[in-house]
Structure 1
Amino acid sequence: MSTHAVRRVKIATHAPEFYQALIALDEVSALGIDPKLAHLVRIRASQLNGCAYCLDMHTLDARHEGDTEQRLHLVATWREARGFYTEQEQAALELTEAMTLISVDHVPDDKYAIAAAAFDPKELAQLMGLIIMINAWNRVGVTCRLEPGHYNPS
């Protein structure tokens, strides 16, 4: 095995149409979803997928939106810290984990039902789109080895 790092392709440079389509899809993925809840979803999926770049980005964005350090630190263990999260946030985190770890148990009915009880059908569909989108971005970040520490929230 080589000790030299393999240089990774930049999707934005070499597949700009695809990258722009991801950006366009991302812009509509959180429509109608509370920004704090959306960031929690993005953070939890990024933790599960091991995407340092997205985790850095979305924790910074969450702080910028006014979320607390305590909630951000505890999101990885949200089940043990339920008092810090609303029922709707807990339902979103449950669905995020099930959809992100889809190969484990294929989004079981009981986990889906928790989210379906907390969101109306339009909100639920939008939440599912958001979860799908962050998982796509995580795959870009991990595969391309995007480095954290270069993002500034606006």
Structure 2
Amino acid sequence: MFDILVYLFETYYNPQACPKAEVLAHKLAAIGFEDDEIDEALSWLHELSESAAMHHPLNAQYHSDSIRVFTNHEIQTLGHEALGFIRFLENSGVLPPALREVLIERAQAIDESPVPLTKIKIVALMVLWSHEAEIDHLIFEELLTDDEDRLSH
């Protein structure tokens, strides 16, 4: 699924350029992605749009000085590394509170606990991409950097 999400980000400049689900499924199959992986990615993206709609308008219900306290369940499922990265994005001004909630919800939909940093970065990238958020160049590079590659250099 994550390979498809990265492919969509790299191929379509914005979400409006992305074809409808049926056409996209055919395109993804034609380039070699497996049907179950395509179904999982399209389902995840559909749920992303539903989650975003639930938290719309993006800044209306939150105050800028609010603090997010994570539940024990969120700490368990996301893990400290993912939570630290979410806080980093918030402190960088990239992730408004409503998008943070979308990111947390979509990250918890991953069938992996704790969520690896590489995957939380892809989820964050897709959440920001789906909302056409402005991303500072250095933050953008951080989202695309694989920490394992960074350690091996």
Q: Is TM more than 0.5 here?
A: no
Which structure is higher in RCO with an 8 Å CA cutoff and minimum separation 6? 1
Q: TM-score, normalised by structure 2?
A: 0.35
Structure having the larger proportion of residues in helix: 1
